[in-house]
Amino acid sequence: MAHTRAAAHMSLHLQTTMSKNPEHQTNNHPLPFQEARSSDLSGVAANQTIRSVAAVTRPLTITPQTVKRFSSRMRLFSVVRLSCRWVGRGGRRTARVICSNNPRRGEEPPPWSGSSARAGPSSRNGSSRWRCDLAERQCDVIVIGAGTAGLHAYKTATARGAETVIVERGAGGSTCTRIGCMPSKLLIAAARTARTCEGAGRFGVETGPVSIDAAAMWARVRRERDRFVDAILEEYHAIPDADRIHGTARFTGKDSVQVDGERILARQGIVIATGARPIVPDSLDAVRDLVHTHETIFDLDHLPRAIAVLGAGPVGLELAQAFARLGVAVALFDPGDTIGGLADPDTNAAAIEALGQEVTLHLGVETKAEPTDDGRARLSWDGGSTLVDLILAATGRPPELKDLDLDQTGLELDDHGTPLFDPQSRRCGDSAIFVAGDANAWRSVLHEAARGGRIAATVATGGEPPRTLPAFAITFTEPNLTEIGMAFDDLPDDVRIGCAKVADNGRTTVDGATQGLIRLYADRDGKLLGASIAAPEGEHLGHLVALAIDQGMDVARFADQPWYHPTVEELLQMAARDITGSEDLLV
């Protein structure tokens, strides 16, 4: 109905304006629009897209003169987007015009041919003609989602000269800044400070009892979180208005989407960067009011007495340890037997031993939750039960794809409804559709999301994908849990593994952080393949290993680097020398 009213108003405005100029009343210059009576509009359904202004007005004739005289007035009606395809003789040339209040986005109409052109069917004498479709638009690249991957895809595509639009149905901004990396690290920083104060006595430093102002702590988490979010939103809103489309994108084919009634066609490619959303297991339905995910947990203004964390992945582990250090009784449950994604059994065992001293771990169990009369929840499992005030569901983040109508694309999907794609190019099959960031459920970390967005946009606009970087994941517990390069389950049978115990390092002994293990992998020729780390400063150690793998370094050269003493980094030299058989440094 919005299109209907806009068309009627356009007709009435031009009718009134032109009637004041006598030259427009001659037969040579018929009115471009005639008045649209209410009776002309009565048969148009509220949700019907009008394909032509002629559908709601009397027959009209447009000449070059009238178009030139009133093109500026037509731009006033930017609420109506017209995609006009001009077809020359023989239908060989096409051009388009978008009526908009942004001249940069519009295009001047092509030269007219013949004495007249009419909207609707082409003239029989072979002259050029206009065919105007409401709510249709073309561009080179469409990006769906304005998170990390989407923003990087948009910037890359535009930098490569592609006319690009970005579609976002929410407020914009990344998962990392709003509900992921940054607020969790702010909470971890508060928890680490509390832990340091509590443990100061062993260094001869007395601080007295540690008290936590929960309201002030949460206020800082949100205040600093919002600063990070604002920075991302500033970047998002710096995108020209004509390039930013707010709404839900749904595929109408392999090269087109529809956004709130507007159809957009992509000449080069479409990048899906819709991110992922947390899920809440059905087993928690009875206590849903007590359940939080990482989307809501940072809105708390207090600290619960006891909390259950479901899921031993990075999100669950990080928040479980943080709450424990803030004085909350924490029980963590997971049906598997690994934590933090550590596939190496030795590193996993070291991590369980270290974290189990702060968090009660229940691995390999299924839970059932029931409400209690006092407004709490009782979690039961085979062998026990516990009462908690809140439950944090950290049980996974599947891609947010359900509203895209992917069935319209013909893409091949996996069992979870995610498009199959090439990890190097992010291209889905042989189509011009790409999937980047958390939306592809592959390496769901920020640097891979950013890189994936850039790769997708580069390939969509005719470029070549860059090299694939080593896999790299960090869980920011203490000790840090880090996986780099080839996964343990993918290692060759003749792999060479070097180990270093954190307790054997001089610097960790000085700092009183001696729990953990490092495992370094190399092939039979000594080329570095990967590492599994549970160690203090593991986030930094992981970067060194990732760089060495990317540079194709062998373990002997890696061991021969300058390792300053005393540093935690010497643990990597110890592990490398364990492979080469050379002498280890113990202090």
CA-closest candidate to residue 437, choices 275, 269, 314 = 275
Partners of residue 308 on adjacent β-strands: 331, 391
DSSP for 474-518? EE-SSSEEEEEES-GGG--TT-EEEEEEGGG-HHHHHHT----EE
CA-closest candidate to residue 76, choices 106, 56, 51, 50 = 106
pLDDT digits (tens, 9 = 90+) for 358-414: 999 999 999 999 999 999 999 999 989 999 999 999 999 999 999 999 999 999 999
- Which residue shows structure tokens 């356009």? 10
pLDDT digits (tens, 9 = 90+) for 131-177: 344 478 999 999 999 999 999 999 999 999 999 999 999 887 778 88
Euclidean distance between CA atoms 469 and 373, whole angstroms: 53
State which CATH number among 3.20.20.100, 3.30.70.270, 3.40.50.720, 3.30.390.30 fits the domain covering 472-580.
3.30.390.30
Instruction: Show me where the domains of the chain are located.
Output: 2-134, 140-170+247-277+398-460, 282-393, 472-580
Euclidean distance between CA atoms 456 and 440, whole angstroms: 12
- Which residue shows structure tokens 């809103």? 237
DSSP 525: T
Q: Given this chain, do its domains 140-170+247-277+398-460 and 472-580 carry the same CATH topology? A: no
- Identity of residue 59: P
Does the reported pTM lie above 0.85? no
CA-closest candidate to residue 296, choices 315, 317, 314 = 315
DSSP 67: H
Cβ neighbours for 487, distance < 8 A, ≥ 6 positions apart: 343, 471, 530
pLDDT score at 99: 38
Euclidean distance between CA atoms 334 and 364, whole angstroms: 6
Identify the CATH number of the domain defined by range 282-393. 3.50.50.60
Per the CB < 8 A criterion, the answer to whether 515 and 543 are in contact is: no
Euclidean distance between CA atoms 276 and 284, whole angstroms: 20
Which of the residues in the chain have pLDDT under 50?
1-60, 64-134, 585-587
CATH superfamily of 140-170+247-277+398-460: FAD/NAD(P)-binding domain (3.50.50.60)
Cα–Cα distances (Å) from 339 to 108, 344, 363, 476, in that order, read 60, 10, 9, 12
Burial call 320-329: b when 16+ CB within 10 Å, e when fewer: bbbbbbbebb
What SS3 class is residue 351? helix
Tell me whether strands 528-535 and 517-522 are parallel, antiparallel or unpaired.
antiparallel
